[in-house]
Structure 1
Amino acid sequence: MSKSDHPRPRRHRRLLRTAAGLLVLLAVIGYFAAKQDSTGGQGAPHCTVRAAGGGAGGSYSMTPEQAGNAATIAVVGTGKPMPERAVTIAIATAMQESALRNLDHGDRDSLGLFQQRPSQGWGTPAQIQDPVYSAGIFYDRLKEVRGWARLPLTEAAQQVQLSGFPQAYAKHEPDATLLSAAFTGAAPGTLTCTGPAPRPGSGDPEKVKAELTRVFKGKAAPMLGPASSLGRSGQVDSNEATVPVADKSGAVNRQRGWELAHWAVANAAELNISRVAYDGKAWLAGENKGRWVDRAPVKSGAGDPLGAGPGEVRIFVAR
């Protein structure tokens, strides 16, 4: 056999290996493309708050867990009631102490969002690891600080926390200011959350209702099905929890409405929420890259499940 007879089978083997490699590469590209599309084109699930109107103030990105915790801190603060400045101080403190995570460990016996210590009178370990409780007692202690509202953020936080690093809170003030505006409802539509749509049948509207009642306390009176008394919806949807934000006179509190709507979006992954509608806008899990989209307010009897006017926040779980 001559030397010229050997290269042909080797070339065939190289071509086969190259073709197999290309097929594997295409499969990998297809997988990541499908994954990106399922999360709204933004990769792994995450939430972002952007400055209102796209102006100065930038943006802040976080996990759904962090967004849910920031939203809870804000809701507890406004429910005290405390001004937005207090919410900024609380969120900045939790950013420094736990990176907005509900930790089950810390220095010595420190726990939770604010790394509060049972041995220092902050509560039991179980209480401290409840974000509603831990945020509430933070605000209670802040109110005891004389002139807290006039103090620089880092001094106000330090008066509550008694940290070994008293200057550490200041660096979080710009981001905390951005988050407090979004989660108190002062900056409508500035929160976006990407991620795949929840599995069909995974949502429980009763669980959403219970959590709304627990976190918002007297500020929210959720009901199952749309608020038909407001004339916004045409049919009852058993997978919907609706919260009216208009009083008996019909006066609407839009800031409270957006506080509720943003809280629902921030907690969508945890509660398997598929849609949130408020004030002519809608957020749909797994669609529109997590952004709010315009939806015209529905007319009475139209039955559009995506529609909601300024008088009610409509929250839908996965069917």
Structure 2
Amino acid sequence: MRSTRGRMTLAEDQPTRAPRWVARALVLSLVALVALGAWFGGRNLFQSVLGPRCQATAAGNSVDFDPDQMSNAATITAIALRRGLPARAATIALATAIQESKLRNIRYGDRDSVGLFQQRPSQGWGTVEEILDPEYTTNKFYDALVKVKDWETGTITVVAQKVQRSAYPEAYADHEQEGRILASSLAGHSPRGVACRLDDPEGEADVALIERLLDNEYALKATAGQGTLTVKAPSDRMAWSIGSWSVAKAVDTGVTGVTVGDRRWTRSRDSDAWEWQPTDSPAPAQQVILHLT
């Protein structure tokens, strides 16, 4: 009998190879994944570089947010001013909202948390519908904030934690600088500090909405003119706050321009919309002109 010791069968002698169609499918899948990643990356880059965007600048530092986020930041800051609270209150609230919701009015969260500050109906903050109202939920935050001992001087992380009772209290510190920049620019301490690059409005400016928001968030009225609304401010600083707020709210209201002093912001997708440009038709002192057409 011929010995077969030391010999391998045909199957053992040759390495197992996958059919060619399997290799091709793997290559095509890899190419598709790379292409998909590039598409999403390019889309995100387009949105951040060329899409609608808002920027707040104070003391030489800037932060970018999308228009909806900036609109919510404007509400949080305006309500602090209406209540007679300093910009520090807005800084605390903004840093908290950035951490909790990224300044988005979301309908979900940990357990039953919802809204800008992720407040929980089960913890007495209000109903879901109430908490999803940015004005209501912001006022509830400030109601709790002013009850915190030494909130005006305490560490923002500590103060925010006493209001929120978060599982991750140290995270609020990560957004303190963003909160300060937003508060400074939206409260009028940094004139010309807010600008947005926006698409053209889909229709006419919503005058009724502008008037309601001004009343609810600043307790101020507007006077109608030929294609304009004029708001009288109690101070130059407040005029710049209203001007910045008007830019931030333009995504909701359809405002096409804002004039404060000898500067005007004009709604556009061009780079000019990043700056308040000099104007030959200045607004009177302590007045803000909202352009509707």
Aligned length: 246
Shift of 1:196: 2.2
2:91 corresponds to which residue? 88
1:282 corresponds to which residue? 264
| TM-score, normalised by the number of residues in structure 2 | 0.80
Task: State the distance in 2 between where 1:48 and 1:203 align.
Answer: 22
8 Å CA contact 1:92–1:173 kept in 2: the answer is yes
Matched-pair identity in %: 36
Please list every run of 5 or more consecutive structure 2 residues that lacks an aligned counterpart in the other structure. Answer: 1-45
Task: State the distance in 2 between where 1:206 and 1:148 align.
Answer: 36
Q: Does 1:79 pair with 2:82?
A: yes
8 Å CA contact 1:184–1:259 kept in 2: the answer is yes
Q: Does 1:241 pair with 2:229?
A: yes
Shift of 1:42: 5.2
1:162 to 152, 160, 165: 165
2:244 alignment partner AA: H
Shift of 1:105: 1.0
1:270 corresponds to which residue? 252
Deviations 1:37-61 (A, max 9, x none): xx9x951000011234xx3xx2100
Task: Report the secondary structure of 1:60's partner residue.
Answer: strand
| TM-score, normalised by the number of residues in structure 1 | 0.74
Shift of 1:244: 1.0
2:57 alignment partner AA: R
Q: Taking structure 1 as reference, are residues 275 and 76 closer, same or farther at Cα in structure 2, changes over 3 Å only?
A: same
1:202 corresponds to which residue? 204
1:308 corresponds to which residue? 283
2:51 corresponds to which residue? 44
Pairwise mapping of residues 24-173 of structure 1 onto structure 2 (< 5 A)?
Answer: 43-52=50-59, 55=60, 58-173=61-176
1:211 corresponds to which residue? 213
Task: State the distance in 2 between where 1:272 and 1:130 align.
Answer: 20
8 Å CA contact 2:257–2:267 kept in 1: the answer is yes
Task: State the distance in 2 between where 1:263 and 1:139 align.
Answer: 19
Shift of 1:222: 1.3
8 Å CA contact 1:209–1:223 kept in 2: the answer is no
Task: State the distance in 2 between where 1:169 and 1:64 align.
Answer: 22
Shift of 1:310: 2.2
Higher CA-based Rg: 2
Shift of 1:159: 0.2
Task: State the distance in 1 between where 2:67 and 2:287 align.
Answer: 24
2:7 corresponds to which residue? none
Shift of 1:128: 0.7
1:191 corresponds to which residue? 194
Task: Report the secondary structure of 1:150's partner residue.
Answer: coil
Task: State the distance in 2 between where 1:158 and 1:101 align.
Answer: 20
1:221 corresponds to which residue? 221
Task: Report the secondary structure of 2:52's partner residue.
Answer: coil
Shift of 1:103: 0.7
8 Å CA contact 1:213–1:222 kept in 2: the answer is no
Task: State the distance in 1 between where 2:286 and 2:151 align.
Answer: 35
Shift of 1:140: 0.9
1:261 alignment partner AA: G
Deviations 1:190-218 (A, max 9, x none): 1110022224x42222321222112222x
Task: State the distance in 1 between where 2:200 and 2:266 align.
Answer: 8
Please list every run of 5 or more consecutive structure 1 residues that lacks an aligned counterpart in the other structure. Answer: 1-35, 226-236, 247-252, 299-306
1:293 to 257, 277, 291: 277
Task: State the distance in 2 between where 1:268 and 1:154 align.
Answer: 32
Task: State the distance in 2 between where 1:190 and 1:43 align.
Answer: 20
8 Å CA contact 1:42–1:194 kept in 2: the answer is no
Shift of 1:124: 1.3
Question: Alignment RMSD, CA only?
Answer: 1.8
